[in-house]
Amino acid sequence: MTAIQESDIVRLPRGVRLREDKRRGGWVLLAPERVFQLDGIAQAVVGQVDGERSVGTIIDRLCETYQAPRERIAQDVTAMFAGLVEKRVLEVA
């Protein structure tokens, strides 16, 4: 499993796009010949990826929104990002 550091800056590589799926509801990550349907949490996390923010900043921002323990959010976010990097739909800049 790829380790994600809080100092890492992550971005969606070319060929991966986040968009709303109006017909079915919710948001999707469109990737080469694959579609990832995101749940509300995944959407909130991936929606923070802008290619400029560090993973740590993203965690801070999510803490403000969700008022949950930072440690817990950090764990979820880094695990989710690691999974997406492994699927090659997210990259460390």
Nearer to other proteins by Cβ, of 36 and 57: the residue is: 36
* Smallest separation (angstroms) from other proteins to the CB of 71: 25
Q: Coil, strand, or helix at residue 33?
A: coil
Where does 16-68 show beta strands of DSSP type E?
17-20, 27-31, 34-38
Among 70, 42, 69, residue whose Cα is nearest residue 57: 70
Window 60 to 89, contacts with other proteins (CB under 8 A)? 85-88
Site map (CB under 8 A) of other proteins, residues 23-62, x = contact: xx---x-x-xx-x---------------------------
